[in-house]
Amino acid sequence: MKKYFVVVGFAMALVFSAAASAREVTLNTQLTNYRGDGAYLAIYLTDSNGVYQGTLWIAGRDSEYYKHLRGWARGSRMRHAEYDGLTGASITSGRTLTMTLNLDDSFIDNGYEIHVDTAVEDRRDNRSDVVVPLTSDGAGKSVSGRGYVKSFTYNF
Amino acid sequence: MKNTSIVLGLSMLLLTGAANADDDCEGSAPGWQPRENLRQQLEADGWEVYRIKVDDGCYEVEGRNEYGSRVETSFAPSTFELMELEREDEDDDDDERDDDERRNYQADENRQQSMPSNGIVKGRPSVSVE
C-alpha cells in the first residue's frame, strides 16, 4: 500500500512539473493588404544562430508549396513529423492569424527566436518576413514584417 | 495521293474541333472582371481559394468549396458563370499525378486530426483567423 502511494505521488509530481514547464503563448500575425492569393506562412523557432529548432504553425494545406517557405523548408527539411498536427488554412490579404499554444518554458529568455516565412502564389517568397527574440521583454510589442506581414506580436 | 489528302483533311477538321473545345470561355480581355472580384465572391460563399489562374480563356480556381471539398473549377471571366467543376477527391481519372495529389490530400487531412509530434508544441494549438 505504501509503495502504491509512492508511485502515485511520483506520477503526480511528474505531471505537475510537466504542466509547470509549459507556458501558454498567443501569437498574432496580421497581413498587409497585398494583391494576390492566400499567403502560406511558416512560424517556427530557431536558436540565436538561426538554427531551426521546431515548427509552431504552418498556414496553408498544400504541402507541394511548402518549399516556398524557404527558411523553414531548409531547417525542417519539410519532414512530416515536423508539422504533423500543426497545419491549417492559408491566410488571405489583410487578415489576422491568432494562435495560442503551449510552449516549453525553456524556449523563453534563452536566446531563441520566432521566425515567420511567407509566400504567395506568383509573388515573392519572404524568408524571415519576421524575426523576433522570444523574451519576456518582447511580449506585447508589435513588430513590422518586411514582406506580407504587417504586424506580429506575442503574449504570455 | 487522294487518300493522303482525305486523311489530311480529316485530321485538320479534328484539330479545329479540338482547338474549339479547348477554348471553353468566351469574351475578350477588356470585358473581363478582375479575378479579385471572383475571389471575394467565392470567399463570401464560404470558399477557401488557393489560387486563380487563366487557363484556356477561363479563370481556373483551385481551392475548397463551402463543403470543404477540394475542387478545381473554371469560371467565365466576364460573367463568373461556372463552366466546369472537378472535385479532386472524386476524380475517377487514373492519371498517376492525380492519384498522387489525392494521396497527399488524404494524408494532409489525416494530419489535421493528429496531435503535434515534434516535441516543441504541447497539444494542438487553438487557431483563429479574423
Q: What tens digit of pLDDT does each residue of A24-67 get?
A: 999 999 999 998 889 999 999 999 999 999 999 999 988 889 99
A108–chain B Cβ distance below 8 A for any pair? no
Q: Burial level of A32, CB count in 10 A (0-12/13-18/19+)?
A: middle
Q: Do B121 and A90 touch (CB under 8 A)?
A: no
Lowest-pLDDT choice from A26-35, A60-69, A91-100, B81-90: B81-90
A121–chain B Cβ distance below 8 A for any pair? yes
Element (H, E) at A61: none
Higher-scoring residue by pLDDT: B26, B107: B26
Q: Is residue A147 a part of any domain in this protein?
A: no
Q: Is residue A144 a part of any domain in this protein?
A: no
Distance from CA of B4 to the nearest CA of A (A): 47
Q: What is the pLDDT of residue B21?
A: 39
Average pLDDT value for chain A? 89
Q: What tens digit of pLDDT does each residue of A114-146 get?
A: 999 999 998 999 999 999 999 999 999 999 999
Nearest CA in chain B to A22: B122
Q: What is the pLDDT of residue B24?
A: 62
Q: Is residue A145 a part of any domain in this protein?
A: no
Q: Do B118 and A103 touch (CB under 8 A)?
A: no
Q: Is residue A155 a part of any domain in this protein?
A: no
Residue A112 has pLDDT above 80, yes or no: yes
Q: What is the pLDDT of residue B22?
A: 42
Q: What is the 3-state secondary structure (H, E, C) of B62-110?
A: EEECCCCCEEEEEECCCCCCEEEEEEHHHCCCCCHHHHHHHHHHHHHHH
Q: Is residue A32 a part of any domain in this protein?
A: yes
Q: Do B121 and A102 touch (CB under 8 A)?
A: yes
Q: Is residue A25 a part of any domain in this protein?
A: yes
Residue B38 has pLDDT above 70, yes or no: yes
Residue B110 has pLDDT above 70, yes or no: no
Q: Which residues contact A37 (CB under 8 A, 6 or more apart)?
A: A90, A92, A120, A121, A122, B39, B49, B50, B51, B52
pLDDT tier at B14, thresholds 50, 70, 90? very low
Which residues span the domain enclosing A21?
Answer: 4-139
Q: What is the CATH number of the domain that holds A23?
A: 2.60.40
pLDDT tier at B10, thresholds 50, 70, 90? very low
Structurally, chain A folds into a number of domains equal to: 1
Average pLDDT value for chain B? 69
Q: Is residue A148 a part of any domain in this protein?
A: no
Q: Do B111 and A57 touch (CB under 8 A)?
A: no
Where do we find the cell 488571405? A92
Q: Is residue A152 a part of any domain in this protein?
A: no
Chain B residues within 8 A of A92 when measuring between CB atoms: 39, 43, 49
Over residues A103-114, the mean pLDDT reads: 94
Q: Do A81 and B117 touch (CB under 8 A)?
A: yes
CA distance A8 to A10: 5
Put simply, whether the predicted model's pTM sits higher than 0.90 gets the answer no
